[in-house]
Amino acid sequence: MSGTTAAAARPRRRAAGTGANRWVVLTVLCTSLLLVAVDATVLHVAVPAVTKDLRPGAIELLWIVDSYPLVCASLLILFGTLGDRVGRRRILLLGYALFGVASALAAFAPTPQVLIFARALLGVGGAMIMPATLSLLRQVFPDRRERALAIGVWSAVAAVGAAIGPLLGGFLLEHFWWGSVFLVNIPLMLVSLPVGRLLLPESTGDGNGPWDVVGAMLAAAGLFGVVLGVKRFGDGEVLSLLTVVPLVAGTALLVVFVRRQRRRAHPLVDLSMFAHPAFSTSVGCIVLAMLALVGLELIAAQYLQLVLELSPLRTGLRLLPLTFAAMAAGLAGARMLRRFGPRRMVSAGFCLTAGAVVVLTGMGAQDRPVLLLCGFVLLGFGLETTLFGAYESMLSEAPPEQAGGAAAIGETSYQLGAGMGIALLGTVMNAAYAPGVAHVPGVPAPASKAASHSLGEAYGVAAQLGGSAGEALRRAARDSFVHGLHVTLLVSAGLLLLGAVMALRLPRSMHCETAPAGVPAQRKPEKPRVSA
């Protein structure tokens, strides 16, 4: 395209940061994020139906559930940095298309192998979509005040998507077959593709030097190994070769990746961003916040279903206050950030969450709905306040030309924190729970050993034993679970207070630049791209 033609075409493109159109762009980006967030949790309630219909083996069932988050977490850096090179909108639209195709394939999968493949493709599509939405926000909202509000809406939508996934899945399973949990993606993607092509602006980074293909492969393989090892560790396979080997190999590959990036004149990811306290501290805060959130949500769901014996739907409804509080924190986050600054906001969010966790130690064998309501509201508001402040600080600290890489680092930290939370808090929970069922009077040693794996297994063993021995095992397992829950909550509170101390390295106030023509001050403007 000639310079004259390109110049003539530019006025027909909507400016990234001007007019009301940027809020329409935010709506499009949040819609796509909602789909990805829902898909991460919607399958959980459909697992029994999938098992009954496709009859997967134990390993196949594990991969049906885990292939999506594993692949997605592994490819975030690859596609985030690729978007900086070839165009963030282009990667996002390709992600839309792949997500729709993979959803159709998953919905009508005739075998477990096909469903695993489809879930992996969904992970690829999710890895294209997630960093692209956040990096486009960095471009579309150059003014930090407006960007803070946009990130607040973005994070609230992410919280809603993760929470309504199980509820939507439960509703669809009551009326349709299990494949319907995937079909809901297709109409929304069919709308998002043309709307996104029409409304979303295109941008890239500075484009200096070739894209580091070898580095991208190293990052993907290393992250896959680390996330796989962490997830297997959380499943109790601590000393298994299939846990240790991926973890060690993944860590080694990531070390090679870091050394390679430091040597290159044009690195895939500018690791000098971590030299800035605001960026590195924000990443650490995201990991700690997700570590607490996912582990606590998992244990809370088990408590509600197995100790209080609530149905999956009632369990989801009990957890809704957490989601609504997170939404409120996301929407109020921009105002709180301007008033209190990143340091006080993130630190206070951690402290509030730690207080909520201490309140929840009042949970026992009897239902206490008011205590649960207060605890979940405080938990949701505190954690979302923390995540909002950390994400906003991280993204604002990164140069615009590195927006995709920075977004990918943030999302990778999110995924790693979630996996580590399940692994760490699950290990603490099991260590506190198992001794309580090891020596129950009248229960044979093999039965006690089987019951020590989880509360659900303990209930199954108790049902097989029957009589007074079965009842004694059931009561001991329930009491041990509640004890383990209290220990886990106190460990979580300690980690959250550690996060509050870490957050003291963040800037005291929110520095807002005056950005002429939509370009942040003291920043190198992004290279505009015009689609044909």
Report for 207-216, 420-429, 472-481: range of highest mean pLDDT: 472-481
State pLDDT tens for residues 418-469.
767 777 777 788 788 888 888 888 788 888 888 877 777 788 888 888 788 8
**397/210: higher pLDDT:** 397
d(CA 526, CA 507): 25
**pLDDT attached to residue 10:** 38
**pLDDT attached to residue 512:** 56
117 close to 237: Cβ distance less than 8 angstroms? no
Q: What average pLDDT does range 170-182 have in this prediction?
A: 75
Q: What are phi and psi of 254, to 5 degrees?
A: -70, -35
pLDDT band at 364 (very low <50, low <70, confident <90, very high): confident
CA 60-66-67 angle, 5° bins: 80
**187/499: higher pLDDT:** 499
Look at residue 350 and tell me whether its pLDDT is greater than 90.
yes
Question: Both tokens of residue 315?
Answer: 């369990």
Give 505: exposed, middle or buried? Use CB within 10 Å, 0-12, 13-18, 19+: middle
Tell me the three-class secondary structure of 376-403, residue by residue. HHHHHHHHHHHHHHHHHHHHHHCCHHHH
d(CA 344, CA 150): 20
**pLDDT attached to residue 347:** 92
Look at residue 141 and tell me whether its pLDDT is greater than 60.
yes
When the pLDDT of each residue in the chain is averaged and rounded to a whole number, the result is 76
Sign, CA dihedral 117-122-127-132, equals positive
State pLDDT tens for residues 8-26.
333 333 444 444 477 777 8
**71/234: higher pLDDT:** 71
**pLDDT attached to residue 524:** 41
How many CB atoms lie under 10 A from the CB of residue 60?
Answer: 16
State pLDDT tens for residues 514-529.
444 334 433 444 444 4
Sign, CA dihedral 249-255-258-262, equals negative
528 three-state secondary structure: strand
Q: Which of 230-239, 301-310, 316-325, 349-358 has the lowest mean pLDDT?
A: 230-239
Using alpha carbons, select from 422, 487, 491, 480 the residue that is nearest to residue 236. 422
User: For residue 405, what is the enclosing H or E element?
Assistant: helix 403-433
Going by C-beta distance under 8 Å and a sequence separation of 6 or more, which residues neighbour residue 8? none
200 three-state secondary structure: coil
Using alpha carbons, list the distances in angstroms from residue 389 to 8, 204, 225, 334: 40, 26, 30, 9
State pLDDT tens for residues 44-54.
666 667 777 77
**pLDDT attached to residue 277:** 81
User: For residue 203, what is the enclosing H or E element?
Assistant: strand 203-204
